[in-house]
Structure 1
Amino acid sequence: MSIPTSTSVVESAVIEAPLSHVWHHIKLQDFSNFWSALKSSQYVKGTSDETDVVKWTFKDGTELEVKQEEHSTINHYITYSVITAKPELTYSSVLSTIRCYAVTSGEFEGSTFVEWTGNFSSDADAGVIQDAKFKRRDALADLAKAATSK
């Protein structure tokens, strides 16, 4: 019997760097430049001009092809979906969004608030959600390191 679970995950962090320093890293093809779990991230050849598909190869051997669904340089967010996976995913789909906000006042003025969500299909189990949570936390910590390094 499966355990009922939420099929969404939200992780966030305040990165003590200006929005421009953080947003500069948020391109699917550049994720391996900051995310230590990734061995490589590069455009997939042969896709149409209207579709940005990037292959993420993780150090554990997992390969994901992610498709950019939405991107706004004005509102500083990117939404992507996983279209293929090796090994195959145990769930049907996931749609993820990374949003960056400038912190304009208070203790963290000049910093960036980053939120990374994932909305999974209803067949994702608790293990999938936990894994996504920790992957996002690790990636946000890696992003903070990259954005604050000189």
Structure 2
Amino acid sequence: MPIPTSMSVLESAVIAAPLSAVWHLIKLQDFSSFWRALKSSEVATGASVNDEVDVVKWTFTDGMVLEVKMEEHSSIEHYITYSVISAAPKMEYSSVVSTVRCFPVTSGEHEGHTFVQWSGNFSSDASADVIEDAKYKRREALADLAAAVTKK
């Protein structure tokens, strides 16, 4: 019998860089510029309409290839929401929708830094292992993002 689990994950970090430096990297086609788990992130063939990127192909270092579709984007509210529309090899679950949000820290000891949240909402057929894996992948990606913006 499967272990009952939440179908969502939410990881966050305070990154020691201003919002403008962090937000500059939060474009689906640019995730490989900071996320070490990605070998490449590129606009999928025929996926750009009027310079708006709609679908990006992520190739991971372990060989997994995902096509992710931009669902929402706000340069004012500083967030992107994307879904996985295809995977090779096939995923163990039906769907996932993820959001990356950035907030400027405006006061206190972390003033001038950026608070970043990365959530994922999975279909009900995702296992506890899938949720746990997503948690650690987001933590690693957030650490990679922090390293990328603070080394400049």
TM range (shorter): over 0.9
Q: Secondary structure at the match of 1:138?
A: helix
Residue in 2 aligned with 1:135? 137
2:100 corresponds to which residue? 98
| Residues 30 and 51 of structure 1, relative CA distance in 2, 3 Å threshold | closer
Structure-to-structure mapping, 1:43-58, within 5 angstroms: 43-47=43-47, 49=49, 52-58=54-60
Could you tell me which amino acid in structure 1 is paired with residue 42 of structure 2? Answer: Q
Alpha-carbon separation, structure 1, partners of 2:32 and 2:46: 21
Quick one: distance in 2 between partners of 1:44 and 1:140? 24
1:47 Cα deviation from its structure 2 partner:
3.0
Q: 2:80 aligns with which of 68, 78, 81?
A: 78
| Structure 2 residue identity aligned to 1:12 | S
Describe how 1:1-150 pairs up with structure 2 within 5 A.
Answer: 1-47=1-47, 49=49, 52-150=54-152
> Gaps (5+ residues) in structure 2?
none
2-structure distance, mates of 1:120, 1:148: 31
**Deviation at residue 48 of structure 1 after TM alignment:** 6.0
Q: What CA distance in whole angstroms lies between the structure 1 residues aligned with 2:2 and 2:78?
A: 37
Aligned-pair CA distance for 1:60 = 0.2
- How much identity, in percent, do the aligned residues show? 72
Instruction: Please report the TM-score for the alignment, with normalisation by the length of structure 1.
Output: 0.98
Shift of 1:41: 0.3
User: What is the total number of aligned residue pairs between the two structures?
Assistant: 150
Work out the CA distance in 2 between the residues paired with 1:36 and 1:48.
25
Structure 1: which amino acid aligns with 2:66? L
SS in 2 for 1:66: strand
Distance in 2, matches of 1:5 and 1:51, equals 34
**Structure 1 residue matching 2:20: 3-state secondary structure:** helix
Give the Cα–Cα distance (whole angstroms) in 2 for the partners of residues 59 and 85 of structure 1.
14
Segments of 4+ moved more than 2 angstroms: none
- Alpha-carbon distance in structure 1 between the residues aligned to 2:111 and 2:147: 18
